[in-house]
Structure formats: structure tokens, C-alpha cells
Amino acid sequence: MKLFLVFVLFFQLRNLPPPVTSLSSDGLSLLALKSAVDLAVAGEDDPFADWNENDPHPCHWSGVSCMNVSADTDPRVVGINIADKNIQGYIPSELGSLVYLRRLNLRGNRLSGSIPEQLFNATSLHSLFLYGNNLSGPLPPSVCNLPRIQNLDLSHNALSGTIPGSFGKCTQLQRLVLARNNFSGEIREGIWSKMDNLVQLDLSNNRFSGELPQDLGELKSLSGTLNLSFNGFSGQIPESLGKLPVTVSFDLRDNNFTGEIPETGTFANQGPTAFLHNPGLCGFPLQKPCKNSSSSPASKNPVRGGTNSSSSKKGLKPGLIILISVADAAGVALIGLIVVYIYWKRKDSSGCSCTGKGKLGGGADGGGRTCSCWRGNSDNSSEVDSEKGAEDGVEGDLVSIDKGFSFELDELLRASAYVLGKSGLGIVYKVVLGNGIPVAVRRLGEGGAQRYKEFAAEVQAIGRVKHPNIVRLRAYYWAQDEKLLISDFISNGNLAAALRGRNGQASPSLTWSTRLKIMKGTARGLAYLHECNPRKYVHGDVKPSNLLLDADFNPYISDFGLNRLISITGSSSVTGSSSNNTAGDSVYSSTGYIGAALPSVRAAPPSERANNYRAPEARSPGSRPAQKWDVYSYGLVLLEMLTGKAPEASSPSTPSSSTSEGVVELVRWVRKGFEEENPLSEMVDPILLQEVHAKKEVLAVFHLALACTETDPELRPRMKTVSDNLERIGS
């Protein structure tokens, strides 16, 4: 009887219609991810709202990308992007059955649990982004069973354990980011010498310990920052790190390194911040000499000839003492004669700066002119003697900074002037002198009458800055009611006008080679300001409107040092400015004379002059200018030149709600594009797409721009490093 009932039941089941499920195998694997997360946490923005199990395939689901791997099969899943959706749950092992999956991006959620071993059965996987979750457990050793793995970012989780020795198999790995986890133990020797393609290595903010392996110095493709900071590494820093590319910056802060810092190779390019908070470290560039260093005075003056200590204590013979005394007296007398000669020579050759018809650069008094004399007229500077008269504002002083650049004050004040623009840093005119030479004249504020010495010292310092890519200051004029700066006029406007043009599009002349020339020249000028002159300057206002272009599109950095001069002359402090040729805020075409006929133009209030290129830390009240501000601003300029999009806009279609958000969004938009491996055509300025041969160069500049715009200033490269990197591109 039981056998009969089983037979009847089997017969009835055979006649039932098959279950309705037409979803592909890839779709079923993706539904495992939907089941593994808590949809209630996602809120209204449900990333799985259109994941329908009745669909034939998942290729139109949100966050899923597919492609046809062959002509006779259905499209297969190659990408999953469910990022920043606030979902909570775990990573299902079923995702490992997606054999054609190339990119998995689940960053910025609240996923927990461990990374399943089965995930690495997806052998096509080459980019895995899981950072910003709550994942725990060890790093699966099978991760390097993936033959194509290139990008592995597991940062900002709670992963623990050590780096497996099997990582030596990751020969295709380009980016390894494990920062801000709980990894511990020593970093093994023999892994890094096999990673010929590794570009980025970030192991910061973990619990690693022990000595660094020597083969870290064999990462020949490394660029940007080697970040090992905030760990427990100990021992001496391997000299082999000096073999890394010269463009690599170190971040070895907050460890337990000891001994002397090597000075060979790449070490010579590092600043002191790279080694801070390692109490046992000494030597250059730290201000902590090593006790047994070969540079100590004792080692530089060893006892020679086998003499003992008693022989070195013997006094000199009387005859030798007399001879030395006579020689010293003769030397002092000779120096005194030289000083007297120079004094009378300079007194005889003193010149005068004059008002009225006096000529800039000096001349004899006469013709009813009022003159005030200065000492000498060197190529670098001129110092006015009659400082009291200048401070009182009784008479104006026209002072030449470059003796080879000479014209009359009367000629300047009566020449036709064209208003180029205005900003919080003064009104800018183009003035054509009598000899046909155009100059740019910036009219500053009317205050600061009691601060002439401070003003003159600051101007002289600016005048000493001489570089082919920095606008040259030639002279200045000081009076109580008039303060002028005279500099070279650069004829082809500024980079902002060239990029945006009259119709909002870049000029056709801005080809890739032209943009690369502008990038390189600007980087050289900023590197000079930062490191290649006696004072380590900060520009503080790097943006396209302050990058002037000549007829050959050579760049010139303008507005250097003007914020300080404005504060001296009593004008309101500003956060933005216009270039000295074409204004970034307003442009005028009125004409007149600087001396009288031309009316002054009121500068825009600070709220209208927000600088969208400032670094995030520069926006905090009371922050002090730093060179890494310039690096960030320069990185934004690079991104604008590459994408054709200004920081004010967050994406091609979505304008930002605020300026500060727009700056962040431009950087974030580019980073997201690279993470998702979007086609270059979606990010780069369309004008550049015609130059196919420049693709590799464009990619290299993109990576450099992203390094410059790191949120943490310590992670940004030095400007000299940026310049060296650019010089290698296209050469």
C-alpha cells in the first residue's frame, strides 16, 4: 500500500508545471548578495530596488555591469558597484561563482564578518575595493591565486593577522592599500622583490613590528608615497630604500626606528616630516645630530702622526706667536682699507629717485625735480635713504628693482592705461611706455603710510625672486595716496580664460603638448618658490587666473607675495585675486591715465572672491599658510586641465550645491572614475581625445594630480617631486 502511494505521488509531481525561473546563473549569485544584507538599513535609497528575480539576466540592475564574452552566449556580469549605500550584512561566498567578474566595489558600507575564501574563485577579478567597512578576520592567503589581481584596497576595516607569504605570487598587483586595520607581525622578506608592477603601497595605521625587509627597495615601479607610518617598526631604516625611484616620498612617522638616517639616493629628497616621532632616529634631515656621526668635530680633526695626547697639549713657541700676531694685524689693516674704499666709492656713485620728470634708476638733481637718493643701484635691489619722507607721504618715490629696466615717472603717470581687471589685490592696468614697451601696473591701497620700511623690505624680497616661469617685478612707487607695483606684461591672458573661453570651452590652441608645457613650467616655478631660493616661500593663491601665458603659451606665475603687501597697505584681506593681466573676477576695457584721469574701481567684497582651489586645511580659520597648500591647489589645476571641468562643478551633469563641496566632488569624481575603471573618454577633456598617442601621458598626469589632492597634507608630494615627475612625461 505504501509503495502504491509513493507511485501515485511521483506520477502527480511529474505532471506539475516546472517552476517559473528564467534568471541566469549570474543573477542567482547576485540574489545571494541581496539576501545577505539588511535592506532596512539602506533606507529610501535601496540599491536593490530593481533586482527582480523574474528578469532573464541582471545586466540592467543598478550597480551591475555586463558584457558579451562570446557571440553565442548571454551577457555575463563583469562588475558590481554597490558603494556608499550604508548597507549592513556580510559578503556571500556565492559571489565567487561569477567567473567573469572583474571589479567588485562594496566600499563605504557597514559590511561585517570575514572575507570568504570562495570569493577568490572568481579568477577574472582584478580590482577589489572593500575599504570603509567593518570586516574582520585574517587576509585570505588565496587572494594571490587571482592571476589578474591589480588593485586591492581593504583599508579602514578591522582585519587582523599577518601578510601571508603567498603575497609573492601577486606579481601583477599595482595598488596594495591595507591602512587602518589591525594587521600585526613582521613584514616578510622575499615578497616585494617579485612585485615589479606595484605603484602604491600603504600599510599605515596598523600594528606591524620588526625590521623592514631589505627587498622593499626593489619596488622599482613605486610612485607617490611609501606609507608605513603609525606602526611599531623598529631597527635601522634599510639603505636599500634609497634605490627606490627619486619621485617616491617616505612617510615613516610614529614608529620605533633607530640609528642614523641614510643619505643616499632617494633619502636625499626627503623632508624632516617623513621621519618624525621616531625617538631613536638621528641625522639629516632631522635637527638631531648623531653622537657617533662622522660629521662631528672630533672626527673631522683626528690626531695625526701618531702623537699622543700629551704632545697635543704643548704650547706654541714664542717666535711663532709673534709671527701670527703680525699677520693678524696686517690682515685687519687690509680689511679696514677695503671698507673705507668701498664706502667712498659708493658715496660718489649714489643716485636719486625723483618725482616729477625724474628718471627711474637714478640721475642728477635739476629742473625743479624733488629727489630722494638711495645707496647704489644693484641688480637685485635699491634701498631708499629718505625713509622718513616716504613714511610721511610728502613726496612719492619711484624705486627700481632692476637697473636694466628704466623709464621716467612722468612717463608712467601720463601714459595711456587700460584697465585689465580688479580684485581684492588691487586694480590692474596695462601701460604702454613711450618706448613702446608694455608693463603691468597694479594699484594697491592708500593706507599703510607708517609702514614704509616693512613694505619696501617685502617688495625687495619679491624682486629677488627671478625665475623664467614667475612674473618679474621691476619697480614700485610709494606715496601716501598712491602705491604702484610695476611688473612685466604677459601678452596672452591667463590659463582660466584659455580653459573656459568665451563659450565655456577650452581654446583649440590648448593641445595636449601645450597643456603639458604649461603644467611643467608652472611646477618648475612653484618648486623654485618652495625650495630653490634662500627663503622657502608659499604662494598661497595658486589658480588658473594667476597663471599667465605668453604668445608661445609659456606659463608665468603671478600675484606672488601680494596678500602680504595688501595687509601692509591697509586693504581688506582677501582669499582670491585676479592676475596682473586678466582679472579673475571682473574685466574692464575703460582707458585713461594712471596719474589722474582714470577713476578708481571698487574691488569686490571678499565674499565674491572665494578661491575654489584652496586646500581643505586652508579653509579653517586661523590656519597658517603651508607649501602643501600650493601642492593641493596645483593638483586641482591639473585636474581642470585634464578634465576641462572647474572645481565649482561636481560632475558633468550635477552642479555642486556649494563651492567647497564642488572642490571635493571634482577630486572624488575623478577618483571614483578610476576605481570603477570608467573609460578615459568619460573623464578627459573632449579636445584631448583626438590625440590618441598621449593616452599614457594623460594617465600619468591623472595619477600625479590625485597624489597632489590627497586630503592629508603629509601624503602629498613635495612640489620638487611633482616637477621631477612631470619632466619625465613626454620627454
Q: Which of 541, 630, 685, 724 is catalytic?
A: 541
Q: Identify the CA nearest to 624 among candidates 713, 555, 544, 689.
A: 713
Torsion of CA 689, 692, 696, 701, to 10 degrees: -30
695-708 and 719-728 helices, crossing angle to 10°: 180
3-state secondary structure of 46: coil
Intra-chain end-to-end CA distance of the chain, in Å:
91
Return d(Cα 391, Cα 626) in angstroms, integer: 32
Segment (H or E) for 65: strand 64-67
CB 362 within 8 A of CB 383: no
Return d(Cα 688, Cα 344) in angstroms, integer: 63
- Supply 450's cell numbers: 607708517
CB 531 within 8 A of CB 717: no
Return d(Cα 564, Cα 577) in angstroms, integer: 13
Classify strands 482-488 and 473-479 as parallel, antiparallel or unpaired. antiparallel
- What are 486's strand-pairing partners? 441, 475
- Supply 203's cell numbers: 600599510
What residue type is 643 in one-letter code? T
Q: Identify the CA nearest to 225 among candidates 728, 581, 703.
A: 703
541 a catalytic residue: yes
Task: For residue 451, count CB atoms less than 10 angstroms from its CB and return exposed for 0-12, middle for 13-18, buried for 19 or more.
Answer: middle
Return d(Cα 560, Cα 476) in angstroms, integer: 15
CB atoms within 10 A of CB 469: 21
CB 195 within 8 A of CB 220: no
Return d(Cα 578, Cα 422) in angstroms, integer: 7
Measuring CA to CA, how many Å separate 428 from each of 238, 239, 312, 603?
54, 53, 70, 11
Return d(Cα 298, Cα 281) in angstroms, integer: 21
Return d(Cα 484, Cα 245) in angstroms, integer: 46
Q: Identify the CA nearest to 96 among candidates 154, 141, 166, 33.
A: 33
Q: Identify the CA nearest to 508 among candidates 414, 623, 644.
A: 644
DSSP one-letter string for 424-490 = TTEEEEEEE-TTS-EEEEEE--S--TT-HHHHHHHHHHHHT---TTBPPEEEEEEETTEEEEEEEPP
Residues noted as catalytic: 541
